[in-house]
């Protein structure tokens, strides 16, 4: 009887030891560790823009302008002159041509240049006299303007240059000056004087002057071309 109890006690001890070595059953949530969270792929970093070449840098023309007239390409309004200012301009131009022609007559030995200078004295003297008569008749008083001041200053400079010219250079310089000045006066007549005049007599007078100036320009250009071909003639 004692032996039977000893066997039973031994079996019980073996079972208890076996049970102590077993791990407890895992629950459903413990069966496997949760998956590691997936990290999002890193966003690719955009490459820095390549430096712009200096010849493609924006210029002042590419920079937007501000203001109500920004980017406007319309021509600026023409300067309006009074009738008195117009008469002062024509008087200054006539006087300048007369003075230059008198210098030419005192210095040139070329009959072609002398003929041109004589025409300048005759025609510009007549034109100036007619302008003074018109001013008196229509009670238009001559008025200075920035344009007449520029003509006067340029005329004085031209006179100094012509007087200082050598004999060899004088004829060419005088004729070149007549071409340049008559081109300038013709442009002023078309773009400033005739369009600004309000007096009917003055408009008619400017039309006559324009015809004379165009004729003088043609004579001067013809002589200029002739002298370039045969300067010693």
Whether residue 180 is contained in a domain is answered as yes
Question: Which CATH number covers residue 154?
Answer: 1.20.1260.10
Residue keyed to tokens 């024509």: 90
- Domains identified in the chain, total number: 1
Whether residue 26 is contained in a domain is answered as no
Whether residue 157 is contained in a domain is answered as yes
| Whole-angstrom distance, CA of residue 111 vs CA of residue 121 | 15
Contact 221, 182 (CB under 8 A): no
Whether residue 44 is contained in a domain is answered as no
Report pLDDT digits (tens) over 106-150: 999 999 999 999 999 999 999 999 999 999 999 999 999 999 999
Q: What is the pLDDT of residue 152?
A: 96
Nearest to 181 by CA among 163, 162, 165: 162
Whether residue 182 is contained in a domain is answered as yes
Q: Which domain holds residue 140?
A: 83-228
Report pLDDT digits (tens) over 58-117: 343 343 333 334 433 444 445 689 999 999 999 999 999 999 999 999 999 999 999 999
Model confidence pTM above 0.95: no
> What percent of the chain clears pLDDT 70, i.e. is strictly above it?
65
- Burial tier of 57 (Cβ tally within 10 Å: 0-12, 13-18, 19+): exposed
Whether residue 39 is contained in a domain is answered as no
Cα atoms in the 13 Å half-sphere on the side-chain side of 212: 20
Q: How far is CA 222 from CA 83, 94, 100, 118, 189, in A?
A: 34, 21, 19, 16, 22
- The full DSSP string for 120-174 is HHHHHHHHHHHHHHHHHHTT------HHHHHHHHHHHHHHHHHHHS-HHHHHHHH
Whether residue 233 is contained in a domain is answered as no
Whether residue 94 is contained in a domain is answered as yes
Report pLDDT digits (tens) over 24-39: 444 443 444 444 444 4
């Amino acid at each position: 009887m004692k032996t039977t109890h000893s066997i039973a006690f031994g079996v019980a001890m073996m079972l208890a030891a076996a049970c102590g070595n077993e791990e407890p059953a895992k629950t459903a949530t413990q069966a496997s560790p949760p998956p590691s969270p997936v990290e999002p792929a890193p966003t690719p970093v955009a490459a820095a823009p390549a430096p712009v070449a200096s010849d493609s840098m924006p210029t002042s023309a590419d920079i937007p302008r501000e203001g109500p007239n920004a980017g406007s390409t319309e021509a600026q309004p023409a300067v309006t002159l009074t009738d008195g200012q117009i008469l002062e301009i024509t008087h200054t131009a006539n006087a300048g041509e007369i003075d230059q022609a008198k210098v030419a007559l005192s210095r040139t030995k070329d009959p072609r240049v002398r003929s041109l200078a004589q025409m300048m004295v005759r025609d510009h003297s007549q034109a100036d006299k007619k302008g003074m008569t018109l001013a008196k008749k229509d009670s238009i008083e001559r008025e200075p303007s920035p344009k007449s001041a520029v003509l006067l200053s340029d005329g004085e400079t031209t006179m100094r240059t012509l007087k200082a010219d050598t004999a060899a250079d004088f004829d060419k310089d005088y004729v070149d000056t007549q071409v340049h000045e008559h081109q300038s006066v013709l442009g002023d007549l078309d773009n400033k004087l005739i369009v600004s005049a309000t007096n009917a007599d003055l408009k008619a007078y400017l039309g006559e002057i324009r015809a004379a100036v165009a004729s003088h320009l043609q004579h001067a250009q013809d002589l200029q071309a002739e002298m370039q071909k045969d300067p010693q003639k």
